[in-house]
Structure 1
Amino acid sequence: MVNTHFSTKIPDEMSGWRLDKALAELFPDYSRARLQKWIKDGFVLVNAMPLRGKDKVQGGEDIEIIAQAEEEVTWEGQDLPILKILYEDDDIIVVDKEAGVVVHPGAGNPDSTLVNALLNHAPELVQLPRAGIIHRIDKDTSGILVVARSLPAHTSLVAQLQAREFKREYQAIVNGMMISGGTVDAPMDRHPIHRTRMAVVERGKPAVTHYRVIRRFRLHTLIRASLETGRTHQIRVHLAHAHYPLVGDPVYGGRLHLPPACTEDLQVALRQFKRQALHAERLGFIHPTQKEYMEWQVPIPADMQQLLKLLATDQQLFEAKKQ
C-alpha cells in the first residue's frame, strides 16, 4: 500500500451538497465507495475536522485527505504489441494510442487493452486509481494519452485536468463544408433514452469545444478542435449538434456524404471508413515534479491521411472541371 495525501477547496457552487457527493465530483478517479470509506475512517478532514458523508458543505472549506491507497485494480499485465511510448520518467508515461485499442478493461473487453500493456511495462501502476489513467480517448479514436506513475503525479495531473489547464487538441474530418471556426458551449449527459450514448441536454454538465478550419473540401472539412472540458464523446456529440458530424462515426455520424460525381476511390474510402475520423494530435501540461510545461504532438494516422489525400484529389478535379 502507498500513502495518499492531497488537498483542495470546496467550490462555492457546491454549497448545500453532501460531502460525499462533492468529493465524488472533485475526485472522479476514486470510486464513491472508496471516498465514503475514507470519510467513515476519518481520513477526510474538512477545515481540520472529520465529518460524515451526509453532512452538507457550504463552499470554501479546506479539504485534506490522508489515507492508505490499496490496490485499486485487479487487472493483469500483458505483453502486447500496442504500447507506443512517446516519453516516460519516474512520474509520467505519455503514449500514442492506435485506433481500435481499448484504453482499459470493461464489459466486452476483459483484457488486451492499453492498461494491460501498461501494467506489464510498469507493474507499480496497479497501486494507482485506474492504473494511472488520467483521461481517456475512445477505442476508435487515435492519439496521445498521459498516464500517472505515482500518486503525487496523479494528484497533480487530475488537479490540472479539473482546472482545465491541459492543452488538448484534436484533428477531425467532418461532414459538411464549414464556413468558419467557432465554439460549441452546450451541456452534456447521458442520452435520456439511449443510455449508452451521450447527448446535449439542458441539465447536463458544462461542456465547451472550440474548433477552427484547417482545410475545406467539397462536402467535408478538416478541422482542429480543442477541449475546455472532457466529457465522454464530447467532440463527437458537439460537432453532430452543430450539424457537422464526424466522418465514419458509427453512433453520431448520420448519413453518408458523397460529393456529386466523385471518384470511385473516394466513394469506397468514405463507405469503408468505419470509425470516427478523430485524432488526439497534441497534449500539453505542467510536469508534476519538474514544474515545467511539456507538450507532445503526433501526426494523424495513415487511414485519415489517405482519406484526406482522396478528398484533396476530388477537390482538385472538381476545380479543374470548372475552368
Structure 2
Amino acid sequence: MSGAITPSTSVTTITVPPRSRRTFTLTLRIDPTKLPVWILNSGPNGGNGAALTAVEYDGYLVLDAPGTANDLTMPWHVLPRAAGNVSAPASVRATTGSPAMARLTNTGANPVSVDPFTLIGSNTTVNASLGSGMQMPPMDLRYVGVRAFDGTGICPANSPLIQFAVTTHQRITHSNYPVEIDLLFDTDRNGTPDYVGYTAEVGNFASDGRNAFFVGPVGGPYSAFFFTAHATNSANTVLTLCGSQIGVASLGQQINVDAYTYDNYFTGFELSKIEGISTVLGAPRFDIDTGSGVVPANGSLTTTVYRFNAPSDVTDSGILLQYSFAPAGREASAIIVR
C-alpha cells in the first residue's frame, strides 16, 4: 500500500460474553503525500473500471478467535484523493498600464495545479437538496470561464481551440448522469442561438461510460471532437471545442453564450442557468500569468493579473481559477478585477 494507509484498532483483543455485544474502532490513517496520482475521470477513463485499481485501497480486518469456528473477517475499502487547499484574493485592482499581483496560498499537504480562465459569468443562487432518494438532485452553476488558443494543426481549417470552464456549486460525481451541461452559442450576435454544445455519454445510454462535449447547429447534427475534462466527484468541468464547430474562423471574434444545467436522468428539468454572457475569444478584458501554474504544499504562488481594452458589452469580470483537487466548495476561485 506504499505506506499511504495505516490501519489500527482501538483494542488488541476483545471478549464477547454470551448473548452480548462489544464494539471497537477501526481507524484508517491516510498520508496524502503518499497517495498515487488520481487517474479516474469522466472522459477517456470514464468507463474504465480497471482504473479504479490504481487509486483504491482495501483489505480485511481478521478477528482470530480460538479454534476456527468463530473466526471473522471484516472488509474495508477507501478511495482517497490527495488535495491541497488554495485561497486567492476576492478582488484586485488593475489598469491597462498597471497590472495587479495576486498571491495564491495553499495550506494543504499537497501541491495544487492552477487552471486559469477569464471569468465571464457567475451565479450565487444555490438550491437546497430535497434529500436523498427524492430523485431531484440540485446542480447549480457557479462560474463560467473561457480561454482560446491558435488551433493550427488541431482544429479544422486551423480555427481556434476554445475551452469553457464550468464550476458548479455542488460536486458532479460523473459527467454522464444525472447532470448535463449545455452551452448555447449566438455566434453572429443577433439574439438567436446558432449552435449548441452539450455533455453526453459516448454512444447510447449506459453503453460506453465516457463523456464528451457534442457541438453543432441548433438543429443538428452534433459531433464531439474532445472528451469532457472532469476528474469525477468534482465541481470543475472543462469543455473543449473547435471554432469551426460554432462558426468561428479566427481569434478576436466576439460571441454571446448562455449556460445551463439539466437533469438528464430523472426529470429532464432545467436546473440552473447563466444567460447574457458575451466575450471576445482570444482577446479577453482580463488575463493572468500563473507562472509555474503550481501552488506548492504549504506554500504560495504569486501571479500577475492584466487588464486590456475590450468592447463595453463583454461580461468579462475577472479571473476564474480552477484547482486540480481541493475540498468541496474550494475547487475554484473567482478574482474580480476592479
TM-score over 0.5 (shorter chain): no
Which structure has the bigger radius of gyration? Answer: 2
Higher relative contact order (CA 8 A, sep 6+): 2
Question: With structure 1 as the length reference, what TM-score do the two structures score?
Answer: 0.31
The answer to which structure has the higher helix fraction is 1
